[in-house]
Structure 1
Amino acid sequence: MKLSHLFLAAVATLTASAVRADDTADFLNPDNWHGRTDIWTIKDGTIVGETKEDPKYNTFLVSKKMYSDFEMTCKIELRDAIGNSGIQIRSKLTDEKLFKVAGPQVDVGKGYWGSLYGEGVGGMMEASKKEDIEKAVKEKEWNEYHIVAKGTHITIKVNGTTMVDKDFPKLPGKEKDKDAPKDGIIAFQCHAGYPKMRVEFKDIKFTNLAK
């Protein structure tokens, strides 16, 4: 009888884990996102940001929902290695017309792959090591990102190589006396300063760890 109870408890635990193991469909629902429609598209689980001219400011595809603890994997391509992008985590929307944001950003681009950057909040939070970037990143190909945010701990891997793995209780630079945000929006970036650029995020899998 005891073994039966243990078996049922194990099954219940596995079932609960399976139920919460994939929140991707809800996360990628187009109704959950807003941004400049001339730059961003989201279709069949793939997100594309493409500029035909320099937008003059960093602009984002922004989630309408807020997220705290989560795990996400995706493949990212910067076409021809031109431009810069990133994934904002636990951030805030600061301009609802231009879709500007502020907060921690998982960086994508030459010299910064896998770094955690403070977009609009004081600069670099943790830079990837040059040797790790050279070892792991294929600049003109697809690169797989794995991001885990749990409590104040952030882990970022690129193609299986750990770039960042530490606690961030405070923000950097001019915001160093402020606590790092515990939740916020997630957003995808198209960076200013390039005549044109294209970034694509595919094979996205998202798990909400806060449920």
Structure 2
Amino acid sequence: MKTNFPSKDKAINWLLAAAVLVNVSCTQQQTNETTADTTQVAQEVKAGDFVSIFDGQSLNGWEGDTSYWRVENGVITGEITPAKPLEKNSFLIWKDGQPGDFEFKASFRISESGNSGVNYRSEKVADVPFALKGYQADIDGKNNYTGQNYEERKRTTLAYRGENATINTQPNANDPASFKANLKNNAWLSREVTGSLGTADELKTHIKPGDWNEIHIVAKGNKLQHFINGVLMSEVLDNDAANRSDKGFLGLQIHTGPPMKVEYKNISIKQ
């Protein structure tokens, strides 16, 4: 029986056409996959703009006194021991930016005798290593002050837990004597309590002593909010143009005092 085979030229043309079809199909598949990947990344960025600033393994991206700060069991740990007392408040400072308007989130756990906090929009203190001065979301082991807004080395307490406070420009704000006269009992006198978020004791019930809690700071313009476990603890409207700060360093504090331990994890920021 005679079998009709295509000519050599026709066979080559068929093979070339098939190759083109396969190449087009593969290219289209790769294009679809790339588009899908790009869309997924865009959706993820849009869904949550928080970026981790702690790798869970090291202090890369941070600077501080490693006599007191280390990474242990996947968390940043600050500790004062009897063998290593602390003379001045010390900070672990984030090196990769000086945020202005931002949101910050972290989980923290602190011993009962502990005193710590998250400083932001802060300046470095020239003559004290790893020291900051500026706004602080306060944290302490007894939860007497956790959630308040305390300005380290500056105007001291701006809002206690449970307060909406407006900070007014004081007369002669640039005069050191006037500045000192505006401080009393570790609080800033040119402040007006304009509302209540609940009593300090009521809000304290939302904080878990000796366990992990989430701190959330929202700084937008001159409005500063501190949340603990999703509950607004203090709010400051800082109208004091002479003394407020619009951007600056971010840092974790370990405070002078008795032996203590504080831990931070899941640290992220959205700018």
With the shorter chain as reference, the TM-score category is 0.7 to 0.9
Letter in 1 for 2:54: L
Gaps (5+ residues) in structure 2?
Answer: 1-38, 163-199
Given candidates 176, 198, 201, the residue that maps to 2:261 is 198
- Are 1:154 and 2:186 matched, yes or no? no
- Native 8 Å contact 1:95 1:101 kept in 2: no
Q: Secondary structure at the match of 1:187?
A: strand
In structure 2, the partner of 1:90 is: 121
Question: Highest Rg: 1 or 2?
Answer: 2
Given candidates 36, 50, 54, the residue that maps to 1:28 is 54
- Are 1:67 and 2:96 matched, yes or no? no
- Native 8 Å contact 2:54 2:268 kept in 1: no
Residues 159 and 16 from structure 1, CA distance in 2 versus in 1: closer, same or farther, beyond 3 angstroms? Answer: closer
- Native 8 Å contact 2:225 2:236 kept in 1: yes
In structure 1, the partner of 2:211 is: 141
Q: Secondary structure at the match of 2:46?
A: helix
In angstroms, what is the RMSD of aligned CA positions? Answer: 2.4
In structure 1, the partner of 2:151 is: 118
Q: Secondary structure at the match of 1:136?
A: coil
Shift, 1:169, TM fit? 2.7
Q: Provide the rounded CA distance (Å) in 1 between the counterparts of 2:72 and 2:223.
A: 31
Shift, 1:166, TM fit? 3.4
Residues 56 and 20 from structure 1, CA distance in 2 versus in 1: closer, same or farther, beyond 3 angstroms? Answer: same
Measured against aligned partners, the alpha-carbon deviations of 1:61-110 in whole angstroms (never above 9, x if no partner) come to 0122211111122111112x122000001001104753111001000013
Q: What TM-score does the superposition give when structure 1 sets the normalisation length?
A: 0.79
Q: What TM-score does the superposition give when structure 2 sets the normalisation length?
A: 0.62
Q: Secondary structure at the match of 1:131?
A: helix
- Structure number with greater CO (CA < 8 Å, separation at least 6) is 1
Q: Provide the rounded CA distance (Å) in 1 between the counterparts of 2:125 and 2:261.
A: 24
Shift, 1:122, TM fit? 2.1
In structure 2, the partner of 1:186 is: 250
- Are 1:56 and 2:87 matched, yes or no? yes
In structure 1, the partner of 2:75 is: 46
Q: Which stretches of structure 1, 4 residues or longer, exceed 3 Å deviation after superposition?
A: 14-17, 42-45
Q: Provide the rounded CA distance (Å) in 1 between the counterparts of 2:261 and 2:222.
A: 32
- Native 8 Å contact 1:45 1:203 kept in 2: no
- Identity rate of aligned residues, in percent? 28
Q: Provide the rounded CA distance (Å) in 2 between the counterparts of 1:58 and 1:72.
A: 22
Q: Secondary structure at the match of 2:150?
A: strand
In structure 2, the partner of 1:108 is: 139
Shift, 1:43, TM fit? 6.7
Higher strand share: 1
Shift, 1:16, TM fit? 8.7
- Native 8 Å contact 1:73 1:146 kept in 2: yes
Letter in 1 for 2:261: R
Aligned length: 187
In structure 1, the partner of 2:166 is: none
